[in-house]
Structures are given as C-alpha cells and as structure tokens.
Structure 1
Amino acid sequence: MKNLQITHWCHEIIRSQAKAGGHYIDATMGKGNDTVFLCQLAGEKGSVLAFDIQKEALEMTEKKLEEKGLADRAKLILDGHEHMDQYAKEESIDVICFNFGYLPGGNHKIATCPETSVQAVSRGLGLLKSGGMMSLCIYSGGDTGFEEKDRILAFLKQISPKIFTVITNEYYNRENNPPMPVFVFKN
C-alpha cells in the first residue's frame, strides 16, 4: 500500500491531474517538499512560485532545491500567500498547493491564519487556468486551526459550481482531528 499521509495523497491527486511543464504555486513553502515536488512536475519548461513569510523556510527550501538540482525552476518569495496575485497573472497557473498550519518543527506561534488563508485561496482561484486545480491540506488544532478550517470550508462552499468543483475528503477512522485534504478543480 502506498503512503496515505495527507501530503502524499495530495501529490498523487496533483500528479494525476497536472500536466508536466506547467506553471505551479506552492502557497506555503515550509520545508520545501511541495516545492521540490512541483519543480519535478514542472520539468525544464515549467516554473514554480513558492511563498512563505519565514526566512528559515525559504533558506531550507533553497538548500533542498540546490541539492536536487532544481533551483532554476523555482522563484522563492518571502511574502504572504495572500499576495500571490502580485506575482502571477490571472488564469496563468496550472496547480496551486497549500499546506495550512505552521512550519513543521518551527515556532507554532507563527502559523497561517483564517483571514489571510481565505484571501489566498480566493486570489488563487483567479490565477488558475481552465482545467487547473488547487490542493489544500487543512490541519485543525492549534490556536487558529479549527477557525481556519471552518472559514476555508465555508468560503469554498459558496464558490460557483458552474466554474469550480470542490471535493473534500476526510480520514474517517483517525482520532485527534486529522488533517483534511481538499481539492478544487476549475471547470
């Protein structure tokens, strides 16, 4: 059985839908695992924009990309994901990947928050090409995790079904508020 952790599950769905050589956004860079994955998908003809507000995340991601020979495929941006529309044109992105919460192993007081996360998702929807998709790993818990999850899901519930298809998933038999993988497809 393949790994069923949320990030691996999301990568499999992205891989099944995304075209190689596309243009991608890692909206929450963290330790760079999603950035590396998207750079591999991008190949030599594609590109990746990766966002984080922590310099530590940018430095870890930069190092990981250099080690794997992928640094030329990504632009690492020290800015909040809610500003992604300042770096990409409308309807120019094939995939946007989110991992909400805090930097693994980092300061838990520095985490995504409901207001900016909903703004980022909203702006990201405008950046998606027709046929593009968004992957959201939503973690509950922490100081704002439950509120963030509720706000993101409420926002996604009200977007146009004529333009977007939203699929939520859950780990049904896991305790302690497991993360929720959500996928948005632009029709």
Structure 2
Amino acid sequence: MGFVSILSFAHKLIEERVQPGETVIDATAGGGVDTAFLARLVGPSGIVHAFDIQQQALDRTASRLEQECPGRDVRLHLRGHETMLDVIPEESHGRIGAVMYNLGYLPGADHETVTEPTSTLGALEASTQLIRRGGIITIVLYTGHRGGLEEAAEVERWAAALPQKHFQTLQYRFMNQINYPPYLIAVEKR
C-alpha cells in the first residue's frame, strides 16, 4: 500500500470538512476534476463556483460536469481567481466550506499561460476572508514550468506567515521524487 497521492490527500482533507448543501470554490477549474469532485461532495443543494481565465478550461469543465454530475449547481466564471470577492455574493462571505487551487498551467494546453504569484496571492488572501471557521483552502503546487518555483516560494511564505491564532497550515510532499513533483499546502481556518 502506497502513500495517498497529492490530489487524493487534498480531496480527503476537504471531504472531512465540507457538508452537503454548502458553497465551495474551485479557484482553478482546469480540466474540471476538482470542480466535479466538489459538485458531488456538496450534492444537489450545494453550489460550486469555478474560476478560470481560459475558455478552453471552462469548456472542459462543463463537459466533465455534464457526464459526471449533471444537474448540480455549478457556476463557471471566465475570470481570474483574484476576483473571487467581487463574484461571490456578499452573503456567502465567511461561509464558504472549501477553496481548491491547482497552480501551474492547463494540461494539454499552452504552457505559457500559467498562474502568476501576484494574482495567486490576491486570490489566497480573498479565500481567507471567504471561508468559514473550520473551512479549508487546498493549494496543489506544480513547479516544473516557467515561474513555478518562484510562485511556490511565495505561496509558502504566505502560508507560513498566517497567524496561528486564526489558521493552521500544513505541507504534504514527497521528498525523493524527481522532475518537480507537485506538493500540497493546506490552510484551515480556526
């Protein structure tokens, strides 16, 4: 029996905290894997907001949702994740169960379109305002692309500086893998 994969561990952390009927966010929709996971988790009475700056990503996500969990309330936003506070209705601020990130680029697409530290840090700050007590932010960091290591270092600094009184953070990573393996940072609001 091997260790749990990075993405599976992120899903496990969220499953332990999110209840059916909640509102959750996929901050980087990509191919829709996390969006579909969140839609199944919150069920037909929950809401998922999914953000991406590429129409191709939202199209892939919509296709996956049609096949895997039709009829769920998933709202696709062709916007950067740093605009979350503007998009999420104010009555949901401080009530979001989870926010998921997969940083890097859209697999199978242009590798020059990548997440950027400035917008990512803005989005992460917004996420801390949006999640409820006991809510979670998961950040899967892919570092094998241009700017990936720098973005990961910024995210690590941000997470380490969160006040312990209000947040707890953890890092989950495989240490002896080659070729820039992804790793996870998770933040829970106390």
Gaps of 5+ in 2: none
- The residue number in structure 2 matching 1:32 is 32
Asked whether the equivalents of residues 42 and 73 of structure 1 are also in contact (C-alpha less than 8 Å), the reply is no
Asked whether the equivalents of residues 135 and 188 of structure 2 are also in contact (C-alpha less than 8 Å), the reply is yes
1:158 aligns with 2:153: no
Aligned residues with identical type, % of pairs: 33
How far the C-alpha of 1:87 sits from its partner, in A, is 1.7
Q: Alignment partner for residue 133 of structure 2, among 107, 130, 134?
A: 130
Asked whether the equivalents of residues 39 and 70 of structure 1 are also in contact (C-alpha less than 8 Å), the reply is no
Asked whether the equivalents of residues 35 and 48 of structure 2 are also in contact (C-alpha less than 8 Å), the reply is yes
- The residue number in structure 1 matching 2:72 is 72
Q: Distance in 2 between matches of 1:154 and 1:181?
A: 14
Asked whether the equivalents of residues 62 and 71 of structure 1 are also in contact (C-alpha less than 8 Å), the reply is no
How far the C-alpha of 1:109 sits from its partner, in A, is 0.2
1:109-148 Cα offsets, whole Å, 9 max, x none, are 0010111111111111100011100111011121110110
Gaps of 5+ in 1: none
Q: Distance in 1 between matches of 2:172 and 2:54?
A: 29
Amino acid at match of 2:56: E
Q: Distance in 2 between matches of 1:122 and 1:25?
A: 14
How far the C-alpha of 1:67 sits from its partner, in A, is 1.6
Call closer, same or farther: CA 1:69–1:40 in 2, change over 3 Å.
Answer: closer
- The residue number in structure 1 matching 2:16 is 16
How far the C-alpha of 1:6 sits from its partner, in A, is 1.8
Q: Once superposed, what is the RMSD of the aligned Cα atoms?
A: 1.4
- The residue number in structure 2 matching 1:115 is 118
Amino acid at match of 1:182: I
Amino acid at match of 2:53: I
How far the C-alpha of 1:100 sits from its partner, in A, is 0.2
SS at match of 1:108: coil
TM-score (norm 1): 0.95
Amino acid at match of 1:4: V
Q: Counterparts in 2 of 1:43-58, with a 5 A limit?
A: 43-58=43-58
Asked whether the equivalents of residues 172 and 184 of structure 2 are also in contact (C-alpha less than 8 Å), the reply is yes
Amino acid at match of 1:166: T
Is 112-121 or 86-95 further displaced after alignment? 86-95
Asked whether the equivalents of residues 39 and 69 of structure 2 are also in contact (C-alpha less than 8 Å), the reply is no
1:18-44 Cα offsets, whole Å, 9 max, x none, are 222211000000000000000001101
1:104 aligns with 2:104: no
1:30-66 Cα offsets, whole Å, 9 max, x none, are 0000000000011011110000000000111111111
Give 4+ residue runs of structure 1 displaced > 6 Å after superposition: none
